Structure 1
């Protein structure tokens, strides 16, 4: 029994420990070094400040496109979801509150038009992107507050759309930080 079951299990455990903590880690680190900024993420400088474009930023003022909600209040050191399922009463209460708040600030939008990503947090709570629909439902509010023609806002949204990886992996998305920086450039 020992030679048939336990010894192979010990060997496999040791092999996996060496492979995944040593070789695999070095392989991924090496690949990251070929990425822009050596795998440390995309950094954007704006008005003398540095921002990571691949980490969600908090935008909740009416003159900007709002970010996706965060379960960790946009704290990259404590990334994580709420761990509450879609049937959890507390979670449903949070989402309903976000829907009510969104409708209060976007009175021209019907409840059925609100995309889920603008009222639900992502798994890590730090999603830097929103869907194209989430940007479009905010266009009227932003155009009204900034006194900009809505066609300019919609054109900016269209220019900010990022295609899926290799044209097939994922969905179209818009980076909220980049969109809001471009929005400031419209005025």
Structure 2
């Protein structure tokens, strides 16, 4: 099964989520695109519940979803990951958001970002990805939210697709759907 993990404040209605779900449906591949809760501990619990079926899973994680995917990939033998402009060292980056209201992109829901969010992210931090063969990293140098060089360095040794230009949403994501599926079927 392929599971798409969206980024901070995003949803299953993001363009990448929709493209992946439609591609999987057209090719008879099981795909889940959950609406992840904003609290990291709750999002992790949601993902764990999907992984309980005991099968092999590929997590396609975008931004903060890539942060979560890395944590699962390092802890579960049956999990692979495709990381799309992933966040690394996320707790420190988001500490400036503490006390600020956050609005979800595809709904009217909002929440207050707190120190609890930061602490829960810190507890999920993987100091270094070790199971390198389980990953594909996809980044674009034009990412306006995250510095792609951090991900390239952090995931040194994994298969990397580094494209000039683009942005945080990863322009042309659909071109890589066959690569994602092939990685899932290894």
Give TM-score, length-normalised by structure 2.
Answer: 0.29
Structure 1 or 2: more strand by fraction: 2
Name which one, 1 or 2, has greater alpha-carbon Rg.
1
Structure 1 or 2: more helix by fraction: 1
